[in-house]
């Protein structure tokens, strides 16, 4: 089996954390996730930069995904260098030292029933 799958640069153009939620936290809290898969035999050190509509990019946020592990990063939980503002349009770019695979998901529970969406992120060095 191949032990290294993916790309080193990824981008997600759609980003938006709804301000309201309905239902029990944290499962039903409106959130955005970057699901990262690291199939390598070494840890992945990833730098995440957030882009906005009306101000300079913010980052890097530093994320580690251990060897042979997956991590589902909630943008809601990021704090350093600063929290991700709610009800604000943003986009994100990931730069990793080893190939990884990144998929983007959102759960929106502003209304009483949740809505879901997902897509493969854009891999920049394909």
| Two tokens, residue 14 | 């759609």
Shortest gap between Cβ of 79 and a second copy (angstroms)? 19
Instruction: By CB under 8 A, tell whether 39 contacts a second copy.
Output: yes
Contacting residue, 29, 40, 51, 63, with a second copy by CB under 8 A: 51
Instruction: By CB under 8 A, tell whether 114 contacts a second copy.
Output: yes
Task: Report the candidate in 81, 77, 34 with the shortest Cα–Cα distance to residue 57.
Answer: 81
Task: Report the candidate in 34, 33, 24 with the shortest Cα–Cα distance to residue 114.
Answer: 24
Cα separations (Å) of 69 from 35, 53, 58? Answer: 11, 33, 27
CA 53 remoteness from chain centre: 18
Contacting residue, 78, 84, 93, 98, with a second copy by CB under 8 A: 93
- Residues engaged in binding a second copy (CB under 8 A): 1-2, 5-6, 9, 11-16, 23, 27-28, 33, 35-37, 39, 47, 49, 51-54, 56-57, 60, 68-72, 89-91, 93, 95, 101-108, 110-124, 126
């Amino acid at each position: 089996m191949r032990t290294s799958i993916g790309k080193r640069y990824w981008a997600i153009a759609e980003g938006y954390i709804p301000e309201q939620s309905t239902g029990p936290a944290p499962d039903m809290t409106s959130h955005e996730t970057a699901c990262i898969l690291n199939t390598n035999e070494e840890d992945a050190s990833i730098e995440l930069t957030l882009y906005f509509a009306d101000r300079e990019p913010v980052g890097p946020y530093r994320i580690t995904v251990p060897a042979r592990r997956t991590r589902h990063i909630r943008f809601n939980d990021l704090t350093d260098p600063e929290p991700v503002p709610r009800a604000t349009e943003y986009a994100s770019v990931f730069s990793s030292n080893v190939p990884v695979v990144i998929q983007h998901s959102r759960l929106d529970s502003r209304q009483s029933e949740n809505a879901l969406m997902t897509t493969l992120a854009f891999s920049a060095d394909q």
